[in-house]
Structure 1
Amino acid sequence: MISSNSRALRRCQLTTAILSTLLISGMAFAQDNTSNSGAQQGQEENKDESGNLDRIVVTGSRIKRSEVEGPSPVTVISTEQLQREGFVTVADTLRTITQNAGSSQNELNSAGGFTPNGSPINLRGLGEGRTLLLINGRRAADYPFPYNGQSNFQNFGNIPTAAVERIEILSGGASAIYGSDAVAGVVNVVLKKNYEGDIFTLRAGTSTTGGGDYTDLQWVGGKTGDNWSLTYALEYFYDEPVYAYQRDFMDSRDDNPLPPAVVGNQPASGLLILRSGVPVGSQNRITPPAGTCDRFGGEYVDWTYRAVYPATHPLAGQSYVTGSTCGYFKDVGYQTINNGNKDLSGYLYGNWQFDNGMELWSSLMAYHSKSELSGGLEFFGGPHTDGVGTRTAAFFATNPTINGNVTVQRIFTPQEVGGVEATNQKFTEKSWDFAIGLRGNFGEKFDWDLTLGRAEYSASRTRPRLDGSEVTNFFLGPNLGTAAAPRYLINLDRWYRPITPEEYRAMSSILKYEADSYVTQGNFVVSGDLFELPAGPLGIAGVIEYTKQGYELKSPAGILPTNRTVYNLTGTNGGGDRDRYAIGAEVSIPIFSMLKANLAGRFDKYNDITNVDDAKTWAAGLEFRPIESLLLRANYSTSFKAPDMHYVYNEGSGGFSTALDTFRCLSTGGTPGTASCAGATYSYSMFATSKGEPTLEEETGKSLTYGLVWDITDNLSVQADYYVVKLEGAVANLSSTFILDAEAGCRTGLTRTRQPYPFAAGSAFCQEVISRVTREPAAGEPTDRVTGIRSGPVNQSQRRVDGIDASIRYRMDTDRFGDFAFSLEWSHVLGYELQTFATDPIDRNWRDDPGNFDFRSRMRGSVGWQKGDWAANVFMTRYGSLPNWQETARVAPYFLWNANVSKKITDKASVSFFVNNIFNNFHPDDSGFNTYPFFWRGYSPIGRTVSAQFSYKFN
């Protein structure tokens, strides 16, 4: 498989062009000569005077060993590799690793969400929060704001690049070593120590498409003595926000590549008063006074809207005019697609060697960030009518010129709120991680290590938002009817004129969220050789751990589900803690000279309000070396994840979403997904609430990997591993769609396809699911209207994913042309099975399901060159194909290319030039992607960036 993909790359014209450019002009950064040695695996190669390799700790085991490869595959990215591939931050690098196949929220699509400033990863597509982040082998504090308002995760964006020595990625379950959360894998960020000298680095760049200026300033240094060392790092990073209006392919609703049939692309209604109950074929939009749209500074356009006669009408398929009003094409462009940041971070590490062989060490990492981003413009879509802040879509307008039922929409322009920047949300984040330890040895065979640590992460968020009562009163005045039948006199003078920024501020407020998390931990590790066996020493390691984790989330009172005074926005509060005690052991058994077995077991005891009292995990691995250069390996492990604390301690959250009223559709003889259930009568905005569930059980996993590592020659090595991960009991919130489908099935006895529903109406399942839907009578509608959905987290059934990871590395040293280094890494998902609930059939083809937007394959590779004072590198990352948005085919794979060139200008100074995304690619073409931003969120809209770097060594 490796050779096949290599041939495909050689045939690619882009590859040929870039390699030619590389050889001719010497573009890119220096290739580190250690990338294919033991240091390639990210380990410290401490050698004694005889040149023998000292024993080291490899991620995935606490037993020190002389071999850098073990029974489980570990991918390592050094800080030199991070830089030569063109990246500035740890998070940017991790987004390109081939195991990161799952889709996550990012700065493109989460600006209006709960965690728009966090940077999660999603290994194997098993979900955020199922990859454990370690800092120097210690658990990092959770990001304070829960992912999507639901679950905890760890942020990979607050780690200072200047302090990083290497990043180690272990894919697969590792709970037998590290405990909870290590289900999909472990990312261990190893920070610098024992550094000698000082180096200053300044890098600055920008996007060639517009916006995105950035600066990265680093100072890394250290001093060493006979029995001490001190390492320090300081970094300042700045980048400006990028808005969608700075990209011409996503700055307007008219960029939709698949306009609606017959009527074409039409703008959103900026100023809309729409009559309800008007017969099909007649005009229902109330036309504003002449010249109204021109009063809004060129933001609105005069637009005559059209609709299409439904299939049941004699004129089916033909269009008709629904009226004229002010349309808004540009409103989507006022959201950020890249956050603006001002980050200051630092790191300090020191150690002291005592005469008796003991070592005292301590480290401190700190981070302070100010960020800003925008989720776009606010809108007014109907009155805020009752005590818990429900937005009513339809009401009776008593104006003499209207005198009827209407729905309304008014999208505020940037000028009305005080400029685009006035829509920005602002984040302030602070985190620190302190650890102190003492290590030594006893009995000449055993090492011991005592570590104590504390990490804290605090974050605050502010955002402007309309007050429901104030904005309703400003445009509509008091309710002249009742909560069930609201009546308002629309203030047409205010409706049809721009408001002033002062008026906007008078009917809005700045909301402030605060969140904190922490982790306190201590562990004692003993490792060494117990005794000699005929084939070698029996290695053992034992660990005792204590960890206390906690968090607290405080959202503004006005957005809580029980007190929704803020317009069209909800949130959540929560807080709690968890104690964990653990004991674990490992043993490495040399069975004979070529075969070694590795066993590990761990017991975790929990103290919180859940029923997860304890967890037992184990792992077993084999290493077979028939010849010195070839390793055949296999590893099987069990893993678990305790329920995320916010799934347990959530005090209540909520959110609006548009969903299909499945019961209404089925009970009126329709079929979901067809024209019989189309339109606002069947799909409308609903409010769903969720609350923490202490009865949740732990998720459990099983992982299997086997493969080989072969150093074919001193300069050529290959690696290939098969993996399979199975996860059971995954926790997730019930979706509104699932609840509404189940409610309809229990009440009508039919599925969405009008087949018999598997649960009886009186069953416990049906009683529970029906109780989760609240309905109230709605005049003129076919059934009671859904007014509330009670969601919540549940343990689901199972997921299973399997695939292949492979890599090849080659070095070629020449006297005349310089030294070359080649690497290629590839991950491919062979199968993905999904079963949401035990009552559901297993979807054994989820990998190829047209609704699955996880990448089936990922690839990354580089070509490096160095000669004298010049160095160069070209980096490539390939995203595999995805379903098209219409779910009828697949879009093409997607390539990004980075290149850079470096020149050492003196013994102490060097300069580098970087071009990331050389060909200014944004996303593969999908002519059917008719939902904003008109391409999948897994692709970046930033485009090409260029930068220059200057480095100076002081000694």
Structure 2
Amino acid sequence: MKVSVNLLAQSIRYSLLASVLSVPVSQYAFAEQETETTVEQEAEQQQTDEDIEVFQVTGSRISQTSFEGPNPVTVITGEDMARQGHITLFDALQDLSQNTGLVDTNEVGASGFTPNANVVNLRGFGPQYTLTLINGRRLANYPAAYQSNSSVVNIGTIPTAAIERVEVLTTGASAIYGSDAVSGVINVILKKDVEGTNVALTYGTGEEHGQDNYRLQLTHGIDLDQGNITLIGEYASSDYVKGGDLDDIDSAFDYPYGDPVMARGAVQIDNWAAYDYLLNPTGEPSYIDPGENGCADLPWTSYQYRSQLPEAEALGQTGGSWGHYCGFDSAKYRTLRPETEKFAFMISANHDMGGDVSGFIDLLYTQNTAETDHGHIAVNGGTVELETGANQLKVKDGNGQYLVMPDWHTLGRILPTQEIGDTAYHFDEESLSITLGIEGELGDHSWEVYFTDSRYELDTEQQALRYQETEEMFFGNYVKEQLGIKVYDGTGTHTVYDRLSPEDIRRLVGTTTTNNKTEAQMASAVITGDLFDMPAGAAQYAAVLEYVNEEFEYQPDELMTRPEGEGWWGLAGFGGFGERSRSSAGLETKLPISDYLNFGFAIRYDQYDSASSSNDGQYTPAYNVEFRPNDEWLFRASYSRSFKAPDMQAIFTRSRAFSFGTDYVSCYEQFFAGSVSPSEFVKDSLYYSQCLGSTFNAEQLPNTELENEEGTSIGLGFVYSPMPELTIKFDYYDVEIRNQVQRGDISSILIEDFHCRYGTGESAPIFGCDIVTGTEDRQGLVIRNENNNSDDPLAGGSLETVNTTAFNLASYRQTGIDSSIEYLLDVGSWGDLRFAASHTGILTTEYDALADDDQAPYSFSDNIANREPQDIVTASVSYFYENFAATLSARYMSELAPHRILPKKDENGDVLFFDQYGDTLNYQINDDGEYIIEDGYFEGQDARLVGETKRSQKRLDPFITANLVLAYSFNEGDTNVSLTVQNVFDEQAPKDDTFMATEWPWYDIYSYSGSALGREYFIQLSHQF
């Protein structure tokens, strides 16, 4: 396609600097030696060419001559990644200032839903709202539900060696790409038309943890008479990093904020003491003392004492968890980085078929194995009843309130690797994507037709405990269910303090397996070109037709699907299958209104098959304006609508598991209804914290009535480049998603059930009472047996099932500012300096859990409970001199809320209480633990009862990390060696004393992922043949 040379003149200042700065050090130095051509001379030379190279930029199918257009796009080249010290694509994308959201991390380990998937969460909307593409094409989703409820793309399958560049569009783009492009689009452009052969070897290790990384990359290009074949292979392996590899967190005794606490390797808990149902107000230890020699058969444990939690002791809420037990130091065995081994290869081939037509094929294959481990399997929750104490009544206080409490003991046991062998969670993944297509020119029009088939398979394996054998071995015979708890007679063949024999282990321990797969087929036809001439140039267009078919199949272990008592202890399965197809058509135009003004419009229609959607179809338009008053300024504005089709897992899958939680309704009705009002009960933890938990069915049903989530994106900004060496960008964004699918957690549903039944809710509900408790025509999320007329006062409540099915309920909106600056400084014979910085500042974030109610949305802005960073800044300075280059890059994340929002305290660490006017109540704690007010209107009363606390506004310190890269080329630029130091200043996560001793590794693993690894070194040697 031919374009006006004037277009290049307008854009060359924006694009030339980026291309100059992105080359490797060897190329940069070599070019400096070969020619003295200035940037201005290069621009003049290119302007003399009649045919100017044009290309597509993510966010539009109309080709252009610059990355700067009506929508903000961040470009990261493969060289940028290396220069910034990013070893993987995930590292580079996590470093984006727009990446303000949290994702599951390596530290989550085996307890996460998708512990082997790398995802990105632009703007904090969730990774499912960021569309990820390879060469502009969709991939099969990761074959497991992210956080149990959504589909995502795993960017960890993309080999770093194959990446030419990554284009990140930070606004909605459903008018171009369809569903999922709500908060942004990540488009990974892979290499093609490679010449020669390049081999690169990378070795990495940690300064403290000492565990190694290896990577071998091979890139080879074969030039043919009528085309090219590019072959790329990559092998990478990474050793385990566990808590035991790091001195600061290799033991429970490293807890920095108080008394250390080991995990409960073996424990027997007296429920009377734990729930403080004793006449003695000081209580007794809740752990039954095994004696100093009681842990002798479990040599991986030690005889330990756990103190009562200070807050429990001070508030007198419960007896708490304290006393002697067999402690297990699990910290040293827990995973911080999984062990992985990955092999990937890519083939990209093209062939000139003549007549301005060429064919192409792209193939990407990845095979990945990984494992993550906690170092043990736990047996928790088994309750046994002692004959002498059954059904006894115990007086709670002197006000005539009687509570029923059986004499129960709860047993807990950890089965570590030392006892039962392998406890790791194993992953075996394979993904394959193949694209076949042809493209060509037809006059002033370009066209492309292709078909992509993408598949992903995931097999997992882990050790688990057989349910019936666990019951028989540790708890004995099942007796009854009371208060929603399964009760046994305590005649198990082993106590929790007995070591298992090899025969016991063979009988008790088995292997669970899952086999999941996803696939996606996509056929697309695109044509672009000139529509007609206008006074300022040709009107351009792009039209697209698409057909996509997606499938998934999740096959849980067979025992996971069985009823309780016949499967695995503590494990439940998530299975299902489904298929969905859609047909789409889109049109995009760009109209040059004048030499300075361009107007763009796009519209797309997506129609999903009727079996998988309740939607008739979705239209999504987009509008944009570019105004270039001169060569230095570009002003841009955009408005677009976006949507996300209901997740296939919410439409097709059904899961059922046995869960444990607090049934507030039954607890209140059985124990408190006669003496406490519903409002007092639900507001005061002194009451509801004494409720025993219940077991019930947790069910997730498919919902084919889900509608599309719909959103809007608004952008307004400018690009200023007064000289080729300097570029400044500023963009305001406003992104919103409405009709958002919401799946409530069990605890929230049960507390809302109480509010609905008793009218005690004061804040906006999550679902609404019609959905939670149901109507005459619709079953609610909480299902009860209202005919429960048992004479047994301990039979428990009527709760049978809690349904966590998803509904369209919520809305989420964020506004903010993105800005950046790049500057290249020529320091003469000393070389060149490059400065770059980018900033994302969140102005407002609003969430409305029930968008159709009359309650105002909840605003996160300036709220202490907000755990998203308000500001992220990335900056770098690079120095180039002949064959040497060095870059120091840094990332700043603003202050976050602590793990727990605690009450305000005075200088002595005592909790402050306030009256209704906000004045401080002065109190002293007497010998009975009461907080007696010393003066004023409430003199002599307990401050905890008549006063209220206020939340502390204290935030954590900002988090700043930096990378250093040193590179040198020799052998005429064919050989390169580089040293990368990640976290060069060995920065650790900010101190947060609100973490409890049992919450290893005592920092927010989502916000500060990987910080515990400390300083790491990577050395790379590459050679071009």
Q: Check whether TM > 0.5.
A: yes
Q: Deviations over 1:521-575 (max 9, x none)?
A: 1111111111210011100111111111111101112223745611011121011
1:493-572 map, 5 Å: 494-500=495-501, 503-560=504-561, 562=563, 565-572=567-574
Identity, % of aligned positions: 27
Deviation at 1:270, TM superposition (A): 2.4
CA distance, structure 2, for counterparts of residue 768 and residue 854 of structure 1: 37
Q: Secondary structure at the match of 2:176?
A: helix
1:821 and 2:823 are equivalent in the alignment: no
1:710 and 2:720 are equivalent in the alignment: yes
Q: Secondary structure at the match of 2:469?
A: helix
CA distance, structure 1, for counterparts of residue 722 and residue 883 of structure 2: 30
Deviation at 1:397, TM superposition (A): 6.5
Q: Secondary structure at the match of 2:111?
A: coil
CA contact (8 A) 1:415 1:501 kept: no
Specify the code of the residue in structure 1 equivalent to 2:66.
E
Residue matched to 2:469 = 470
CA contact (8 A) 2:110 2:374 kept: yes
1:431 and 2:431 are equivalent in the alignment: yes
CA distance, structure 1, for counterparts of residue 180 and residue 724 of structure 2: 38
Structure-2 change in CA distance of 1:479 and 1:765 (3 Å): closer
1:932-947 map, 5 Å: 932-937=1000-1005, 938-939=1007-1008, 940=1010, 941-947=1012-1018
Deviation at 1:684, TM superposition (A): 6.3
1:791-810 map, 5 Å: 791-810=804-823
Specify the code of the residue in structure 2 equivalent to 1:543.
V
Specify the code of the residue in structure 2 equivalent to 1:731.
V
TM-score, length basis structure 1: 0.88
CA distance, structure 2, for counterparts of residue 581 and residue 554 of structure 1: 28
Q: Secondary structure at the match of 2:523?
A: strand
CA contact (8 A) 1:664 1:782 kept: no
CA contact (8 A) 2:69 2:626 kept: yes
Q: Secondary structure at the match of 1:354?
A: strand
The more displaced of 555-564 and 615-624 is 555-564
Deviation at 1:357, TM superposition (A): 1.3
Residue matched to 1:594 = 596
1:949 and 2:1020 are equivalent in the alignment: yes
CA distance, structure 1, for counterparts of residue 499 and residue 112 of structure 2: 28
Residue matched to 2:19 = none
CA contact (8 A) 2:663 2:799 kept: no
CA contact (8 A) 2:242 2:333 kept: yes
Structure-2 change in CA distance of 1:672 and 1:878 (3 Å): farther
1:621 and 2:624 are equivalent in the alignment: yes
CA contact (8 A) 1:275 1:406 kept: yes
Q: Secondary structure at the match of 1:416?
A: helix
CA contact (8 A) 1:396 1:487 kept: no
1:422-821 map, 5 Å: 422-442=422-442, 444-479=443-478, 486-491=487-492, 494-500=495-501, 503-560=504-561, 562=563, 565-607=567-609, 608-654=611-657, 656=659, 658=661, 661=664, 664=667, 667=673, 668-669=676-677, 670-672=680-682, 674-677=684-687, 679=689, 681=691, 688-751=698-761, 772-774=782-784, 784=797, 786=799, 788-821=801-834
Q: Deviations over 1:864-913 (max 9, x none)?
A: 11111211111111222211123232112101111021122322222111
Specify the code of the residue in structure 2 equivalent to 1:437.
G
Residue matched to 2:122 = 123
Q: Deviations over 1:342-380 (max 9, x none)?
A: 100000111111331111111111000111111452222
Larger Rg: 1 or 2?
2
1:80-99 map, 5 Å: 80-99=79-98
Residue matched to 1:370 = 369
CA contact (8 A) 2:654 2:699 kept: no
Specify the code of the residue in structure 2 equivalent to 1:818.
G
CA distance, structure 2, for counterparts of residue 640 and residue 509 of structure 1: 44
The more displaced of 459-468 and 938-947 is 938-947
Deviation at 1:715, TM superposition (A): 0.5
Q: Secondary structure at the match of 2:651?
A: helix
Residue matched to 1:271 = 266
CA distance, structure 1, for counterparts of residue 193 and residue 338 of structure 2: 35
Residue matched to 1:915 = 981
Specify the code of the residue in structure 2 equivalent to 1:589.
L
Structure-2 change in CA distance of 1:304 and 1:155 (3 Å): closer
Residue matched to 1:12 = none
Deviation at 1:486, TM superposition (A): 3.6
CA distance, structure 2, for counterparts of residue 873 and residue 915 of structure 1: 11
CA distance, structure 2, for counterparts of residue 210 and residue 722 of structure 1: 42
Residue matched to 1:863 = 877
Residue matched to 2:942 = none
1:410 and 2:424 are equivalent in the alignment: no
Specify the code of the residue in structure 1 equivalent to 2:269.
L
TM-score, length basis structure 2: 0.82
Q: Secondary structure at the match of 2:161?
A: helix
1:172-191 map, 5 Å: 172-191=171-190
1:272-311 map, 5 Å: 272-278=267-273, 279=278, 280=281, 281-303=283-305, 305-306=307-308
Specify the code of the residue in structure 2 equivalent to 1:577.
E
Deviation at 1:410, TM superposition (A): 1.2
Q: Secondary structure at the match of 1:626?
A: coil
Specify the code of the residue in structure 2 equivalent to 1:877.
R
CA contact (8 A) 1:47 1:54 kept: no
1:248-259 map, 5 Å: 248-259=247-258
CA contact (8 A) 1:553 1:573 kept: yes
CA contact (8 A) 1:397 1:489 kept: no
Structure-2 change in CA distance of 1:773 and 1:255 (3 Å): farther
Q: Deviations over 1:907-953 (max 9, x none)?
A: 22221111100121221122223343321122122221112111111
Residue matched to 1:8 = none
CA contact (8 A) 1:534 1:592 kept: yes
Q: Secondary structure at the match of 1:592?
A: coil
Structure-2 change in CA distance of 1:771 and 1:345 (3 Å): closer
CA distance, structure 1, for counterparts of residue 213 and residue 473 of structure 2: 42
Structure-2 change in CA distance of 1:867 and 1:758 (3 Å): closer
1:886 and 2:900 are equivalent in the alignment: yes
Name the count of aligned residue pairs.
Answer: 897
1:895 and 2:894 are equivalent in the alignment: no
Q: Secondary structure at the match of 2:613?
A: coil
Structure-2 change in CA distance of 1:892 and 1:798 (3 Å): same
CA distance, structure 2, for counterparts of residue 684 and residue 917 of structure 1: 46
Q: Secondary structure at the match of 2:126?
A: coil
Q: Deviations over 1:85-128 (max 9, x none)?
A: 11221112111111111111111124212211111111111112
Structure 2 unmatched ranges of 5 or more: 1-22, 32-38, 393-405, 902-951
CA contact (8 A) 1:712 1:718 kept: no
Q: Deviations over 1:134-154 (max 9, x none)?
A: 110101110011112211111
Residue matched to 1:15 = none
CA contact (8 A) 1:203 1:950 kept: yes
CA distance, structure 2, for counterparts of residue 309 and residue 826 of structure 1: 41
Residue matched to 2:396 = none
CA contact (8 A) 2:477 2:491 kept: no
CA distance, structure 1, for counterparts of residue 1001 and residue 761 of structure 2: 33
1:361-400 map, 5 Å: 361-383=360-382, 393=383, 395-396=385-386
CA distance, structure 2, for counterparts of residue 710 and residue 272 of structure 1: 67
Specify the code of the residue in structure 1 equivalent to 2:271.
S
CA distance, structure 1, for counterparts of residue 296 and residue 731 of structure 2: 64
CA contact (8 A) 1:211 1:241 kept: no
1:851 and 2:896 are equivalent in the alignment: no
Specify the code of the residue in structure 2 equivalent to 1:510.
T
